[in-house]
Each structure stands twice: as C-alpha cells, then as structure tokens.
C-alpha cells in the first residue's frame, strides 16, 4: 500500500515545529505502525536526513513508551491498543495519516513525536506507593483480600503510564492516570493506612504539574490501551473529599 503521512517535525523543545508530508510506498498490511515508521526512517537515514523521533521500547503494548495521535485519536483507531500494536491493516491504500505528538502543557515536546512525561513520575513520587521497607513485610497470606477488591485493584494497576488519557482529554487532565494509582492502592488493605495522605499528596502534585481538570467526557477511558475505567476517577474524587474532611491537615 501507499500511505501519506503528515508528521509533526520539531527539532528541539525550543524550536517551532511544523507538519512535513512523506509518501511511504511498499507498506505491508502486516507491518505495525512503528515498523512503517522504521522503514521511513531507514530511508531518511540513508539520505542523511534526521529520522522521525518517537518513544518506543517493548513494542508489545506494555511498557507505555510509545504513543502519539493518529488522525486526531490517541494511539489511533483501534480500541485498547497502543500505537506499537496498531497494524497497517487498520488503514487502506492511499490513506493520509496525521501524526501529532501528545499535546499538554505538562508534556512538553522534546522532538518530533516525543514528549516529556516526567510529570507522571513526579505524581507517583508524591505518594503512589505503600511505605514498606524491604524486609519489613509480614507473611503474604496474613491479610486476606476480598477477591473482588484484588481484581479491581489489578484493573487499576494495569495502567501503563503512556499518557494517552492526558492527550485525549479536552482539558489535558491527568485524572485517569492519577486515579488509577490512588484506586489501586486504596482498594487493598496494604494501602489503607496511607489512603488519605496519598490522595491529598498525589492530587496536589497533579495540580502542580499543570494538568487540567476533569469534565467527565470519558475521552480518556475511550483511548486507554488498558481500558481503565473512569469509575476510578469518581473513586479518587471521593477519596480526596473524604480525606480533606477527616484528615487532621
């Protein structure tokens, strides 16, 4: 197939970017989106041109490195997958695709389709953990956990931190990401002692990073490669309000 790409090219964080058009022929339906970019990049490199920069690593949809907008949809048209697992059979010969980086104040563009998502790390550092020293853990089966809660905690914990939720949100909010961690740990008895503090600290950091607020559009859930539910956002809202009312700070 032949695919025409409009790719956002930006040589550095400070530089002004622009869309550049590339015609890629010989695209196979079995290629992944990123393999198609590899082919284009090999051609660019052979000519001594700078290849298109994009984050990627595991290429099996779990590391969360990859992600950009394909025709205005985070991670492209297929549901519950990342761009690395989007295959070209999702498109047809002659299609024109616009590839654009995640856009948010808290995710500055580093180069081309690559953005800086370190704000996510700082949100986790603010409280996305259970304070347990190595060696101080009690016997694993000492605390039974209701299966329903363990399963729900897993569903929240499945977040890969790719940033699609922020990218797709009309307000560039990081609510789905933050709420997934707040809920994962809040649902388990091991995370209960720090539940209030965690919600307060993580939300404060989320706001400090400059993410927007939640207007309950559900765009985040729709593009999430792990299908994480907006129910967790409500859960975090509840946790934060409760924590505000009952904590001593």
Partner 1 sequence: MTLDGKCPSGPIETAWDTHRFNMKLVNPANRRKYNVLVVGTGLAGAACAATLGELGFNVQAFCYQDSARRAHSIAAQGGINAAKNYQNDGDSVHRLFYDTVKGGDYRSREANVHRLAQISVNIIDQAVAQGVPFAREYGGLLDNRSFGGAQVARTFYARGQTGQQLLLGAYSALSRQVHAGTVKLHTRTEMLDLVVIDGRARGIITRNLATGALESWIGDAVVLATGGYGNVFFLSTNAMGCNVTATYKAYKKGALFANPCYTQIHPTCIPVSGGYQSKLTLMSESLRNDGRVWVPKSAADATKDPSTLPEDQRDYYLERRYPSFGNLVPRDVASRNAKTVCDEGRGVGHEVDGQRRAVYLDFRDAIQRVGKSTIEARYGNLFHMYTKITGENPYESPMRIYPAIHYTMGGLWVDYNLMSNIEGLFVLGEANFSDHGANRLGASALMQGLADGYFVAPPTISDYLARVGWGSKITAEHEGFKAALGETNDRIQKLLNIKGKRPVDSFHRELGNVMWDKCGMSRTKEGLEEALKRIPEIRAEFWENVNVPGENKGVNQSLERAGRVADFLEFGELMCLDALERAESCGGHFREESQTEDGEALRDDVNFCHTAAWEFKGVETAPTLHKEALTFEHVKLTQRSYK
Partner 2 sequence: MSWLQSLYASTIGKKAVMAITGLIIFGFTLGHMAGNLLAFFGEDTFNNYAATLKGNPPLLWGTRLLLLTVIPLHFLTAFQLIKRSNDARPATYSKWQPQRSTYASRTIRFGGIYLLGFILYHLAHYTLFLTNPEFGGYHDAQGRHDAFRMVVEGFSNPVNVAVYLVAMLSLVFHLSHGAWSMFQSMGLNHPKYNQLRERAAWTLAIVLTVGFSSVPIAVLTGVVHR
Q: Is residue 104 a contact point for partner 2 (CB under 8 A)?
A: yes
Which residue do the tokens 């329903």 mark? 148
For residue 14, give Cα distances in angstroms to 17, 112, 192.
9, 12, 43
Q: Is residue 90 a contact point for partner 2 (CB under 8 A)?
A: no
Q: Which of 16, 18, 30, 72 binds partner 1 (CB under 8 A)?
A: 30
Q: Is residue 113 a contact point for partner 2 (CB under 8 A)?
A: no
- Minimal CA–CA distance to 54: which of 68, 36, 75? 68
Tell me if 119 sits within 8 A of 109, measured CB to CB. Answer: no
Residue 206 interface partner, choices partner 1, partner 2, none, CB cut-off 5-8 Å depending on type: partner 2
CB nearer partner 2, residue 63 or residue 222: 222
Listed in sequence order, the DSSP H helices in 101-230 are: 118-125, 147-157, 164-168, 175-186, 195-208, 219-223
Using the rule CB under 8 A, give the single segment among 68-76, 135-143, 169-177, 232-240 that binds partner 1.
135-143
Tell me if 167 sits within 8 A of 224, measured CB to CB. Answer: no
Q: Is residue 207 a contact point for partner 1 (CB under 8 A)?
A: no
Distance CA 70, CA 58 (A): 20
- Shortest reach from residue 219's CB to partner 2, in Å: 5
Distance CA 176, CA 169 (A): 10
For the segment 52-81, give every residue that binds partner 1 (CB under 8 A): 53, 55-60, 62-65, 78, 81
Tell me if 76 sits within 8 A of 90, measured CB to CB. Answer: yes
For the segment 185-244, give every residue that binds partner 2 (CB under 8 A): 203-204, 206-207, 210-219, 221-223, 230-231, 233-242, 244
- Shortest reach from residue 19's CB to partner 2, in Å: 7
User: Residues interacting with partner 2, by CB under 8 A?
Assistant: 19, 69, 71-73, 98, 100, 103-106, 168, 170-173, 203-204, 206-207, 210-219, 221-223, 230-231, 233-242, 244, 249
């Amino acid at each position: 197939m032949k695919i025409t790409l409009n790719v956002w090219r930006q040589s550095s964080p400070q530089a002004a970017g622009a869309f550049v058009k590339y015609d890629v022929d010989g695209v196979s339906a079995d290629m992944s989106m990123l393999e198609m970019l590899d082919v284009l990049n090999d051609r660019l490199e052979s000519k001594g041109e700078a290849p298109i920069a994009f984050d990627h690593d595991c290429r099996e949809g779990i590391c969360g490195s990859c992600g950009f907008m394909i025709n205005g949809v985070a991670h492209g048209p297929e549901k519950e997958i990342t761009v690395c697992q989007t295959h070209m059979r999702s498109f047809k010969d002659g299609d024109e695709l616009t590839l654009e980086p995640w856009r948010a104040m808290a995710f500055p563009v580093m180069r081309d389709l690559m953005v800086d998502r370190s704000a996510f790390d700082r949100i986790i550092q603010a409280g996305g953990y259970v304070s347990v020293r190595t060696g101080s853990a009690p016997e694993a089966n000492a605390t039974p956990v209701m299966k329903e809660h363990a399963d729900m905690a897993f569903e929240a914990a499945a977040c890969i931190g790719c940033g699609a939720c922020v990218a797709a949100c009309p307000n560039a909010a990081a609510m789905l990401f933050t709420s997934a961690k707040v809920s994962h740990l809040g649902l388990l008895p091991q995370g209960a002692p720090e539940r209030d503090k965690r919600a307060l600290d993580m939300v404060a950091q989320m706001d400090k990073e400059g993410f927007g607020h939640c207007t309950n559009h559900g765009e985040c859930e729709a593009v999430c490669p792990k299908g994480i539910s907006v129910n967790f956002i409500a859960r975090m809202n509840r946790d934060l309000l409760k924590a505000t009312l009952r904590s001593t700070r």
